[in-house]
């Protein structure tokens, strides 16, 4: 009897080994299952099919892109594999925007041009402009005049809501490229959640597939959660970047958590709190700055970097532009990071928080 039992056990073991050897490998299936469970579906959880394969953003004109780290500025990897310099220059010049005369527009674009050239000389390779800033011509000419190869520069612009709509936005993208004198953009944002942003998103997806843009973003969509959800639920391509107001007084924890669910990179405008004296003269920040022999501005921007944000502080002053990039030769200690996090005032710390349901017409009628 014992011999029969032993023989049966041997046969069972042999059959098990034979089955394991002849079965397909499970590692790839297990990895796929795990990835699917950990990554939110592109349509907000209702996707019953696999995520569609997308054409590479390196196809078409964008295939020449060659972004690299310069002056120790780190590169962040977006959810489509594209890399972006973490620190950039914001080019909006609000004090010059209101003069719509020919001389006023020339001054605005000349000033933007000089700021971008100065930034490129300091090692910046990331620039943020917009149709609504009325300075794309100056920014584009600066890239040409600088002598820095275009393919080494990350250039972002934003579409105004009056340019939204399927069939309308694709032409607006071509017009934008013409103003900038570029063959492709590294990122295009929908500037505000107003108008036909879903139609605009479809055209952005088409431009992405054509290689006219390497990454897609939404700006200020944190101010209207319904619009954010609509983009997520109806998109074939999940946004790569969400641009929001963010600084130590408004650290946007809920928005950051939401973006994280979809592996969307946070980029911060007003990273210096609109140069609010209450922030730039804050006692906590001043003590940290003194300890590192840095300015308060440099401490704030270093905090942004260590939090994993991209940030685009604006300036037209070459000295300030240089100062802002000199933040990669030191690190904030954990306790200093916590002290800065404690400065958060939540939504009360914000400077810009429009109700888009009430003001949507303002953006589409301009």
Which sequence positions are flagged as catalytic?
133
Nearest by Cα to 185 from 233, 128, 229: 128
For the chain, the first-to-last Cα distance in angstroms comes to: 93
Residue 249 backbone dihedrals phi, psi, to 5 degrees: -80, -20
The partner residues of 185 in beta bridges, in order of sequence, read 213
Q: How far is CA 98 from the centre of its chain?
A: 27
- Cβ partners under 8 Å of residue 37, min gap 6: none
Residue 252: how many CB atoms within 10 A of its CB?
A: 23
DSSP letter for each residue of 98-132: S--SHHHHHHHHHHHHHHHHHHHHHT--EEE--GG
Answer for the pair 330, 295: CB distance below 8 angstroms, yes or no: no
Strand runs labelled E in the chain = 75-77, 83-85, 89-90, 126-128, 154-159, 187-190, 216-219, 241-245, 265-269, 310-311
Cα–Cα distance measured from residue 237 to residue 244, given in angstroms and rounded to the nearest whole number: 20
Among candidate residues 334, 309, 323, 318, the one with its CA nearest the CA of residue 74? 309
């Amino acid at each position: 009897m014992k011999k029969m039992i032993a023989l049966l056990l041997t046969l069972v073991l042999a059959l098990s080994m034979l089955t394991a050897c002849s079965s397909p490998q499970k590692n790839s299936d297990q990895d796929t299952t795990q990835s699917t469970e950990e990554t939110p579906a592109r349509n907000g959880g209702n996707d019953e099919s696999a995520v569609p394969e997308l054409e590479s953003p390196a196809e078409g004109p964008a295939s020449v892109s060659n972004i690299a780290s310069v002056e120790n500025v780190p590169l962040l990897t977006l959810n489509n594999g594209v890399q972006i310099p973490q620190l950039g220059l914001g080019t909006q010049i609000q004090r010059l925007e209101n003069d719509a005369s020919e001389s006023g527009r020339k001054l605005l674009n000349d000033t933007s041009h000089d700021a971008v050239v100065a930034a490129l000389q300091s090692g910046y390779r990331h620039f943020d402009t917009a149709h609504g800033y009325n300075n794309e011509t100056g920014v584009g000419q600066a890239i040409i005049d600088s002598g820095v190869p275009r393919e080494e520069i990350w250039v972002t612009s934003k579409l105004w809501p009056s340019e939204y709509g399927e069939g309308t936005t694709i032409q607006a993208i071509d017009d934008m490229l013409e103003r900038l004198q570029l063959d492709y953009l590294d990122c295009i944002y929908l500037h505000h959640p107003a108008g036909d942003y879903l139609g605009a998103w479809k055209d952005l997806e088409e431009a992405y597939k054509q290689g006219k843009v390497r990454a897609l973003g939404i700006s200020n969509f944190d101010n209207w959660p319904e619009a954010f959800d609509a983009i997520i639920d109806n998109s074939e391509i999940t946004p790569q970047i969400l641009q929001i107001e963010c600084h130590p007084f408004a650290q946007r924890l809920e928005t950051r958590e939401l973006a994280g669910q979809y592996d969307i990179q946070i980029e911060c405008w007003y990273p210096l709190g609109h140069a609010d004296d209450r922030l730039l003269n804050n006692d906590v920040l001043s003590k940290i700055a003194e300890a590192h022999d840095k300015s308060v501005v440099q401490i704030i921007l270093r905090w942004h970097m260590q939090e994993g944000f991209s940030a685009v502080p604006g300036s037209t002053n070459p000295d300030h532009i240089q100062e802002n990039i000199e933040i990669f030769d030191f690190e904030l200690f954990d306790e200093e990071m916590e002290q800065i996090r404690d400065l958060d005032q939540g939504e009360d710390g914000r400077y810009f928080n429009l109700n888009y349901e009430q003001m949507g017409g303002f953006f589409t009628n301009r």
